């Protein structure tokens, strides 16, 4: 199992910070406060893991009991989530959207 890595980006245009968990695309949070952005990203991560398990989808092997590794990134460097999606990533996200619609109507 790998430790959970959280990258933190400073957004100079909008202000505030974005915390991003690269092992699960789409798991990120923005907040004016650095620590709160990280806390919210970890909440989203736990919700995403529950969603994946509930829908029998693969869950990355992350050890949430290990210390979280925080990596501050230089200002205005885009996380890999913000580059164009691959075909596989797009299909996966569309499938997740369909499951969410079925679940939450």
Task: Give the H/E segment covering residue 57.
Answer: none
State the pLDDT confidence band at 32, using cuts at 50, 70 and 90: very high
Average pLDDT over residues 70-82: 56
Q: Percent of the chain, pLDDT > 90?
A: 4
Give me the number of domains the chain comprises.
1
What is the chain's mean pLDDT, rounded?
A: 76
Place of tokens 């690269």: 22
Determine the average pLDDT of the residues in 29-38.
Answer: 89
Instruction: Please check the confidence at residue 64 and state whether its pLDDT lies above 80.
Output: no
Residue range(s) defining the domain that contains residue 14: 2-104
Say if CB 5 and CB 69 are below 8 A apart: yes
């Amino acid at each position: 199992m790998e430790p959970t890595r959280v990258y933190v980006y400073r957004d100079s245009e909008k202000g505030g910070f974005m915390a991003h968990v690269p092992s699960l695309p789409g798991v990120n949070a923005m907040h004016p406060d650095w620590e709160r952005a990280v806390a919210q990203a970890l909440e989203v991560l736990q919700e995403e893991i529950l969603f994946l398990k509930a829908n029998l989808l693969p869950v990355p092997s992350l050890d949430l009991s290990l210390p979280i590794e925080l990596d501050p990134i230089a200002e205005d460097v885009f996380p890999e989530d913000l580059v164009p999606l691959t075909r596989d990533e797009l299909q996966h996200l569309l499938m997740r959207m369909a499951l969410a619609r079925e679940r939450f109507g």
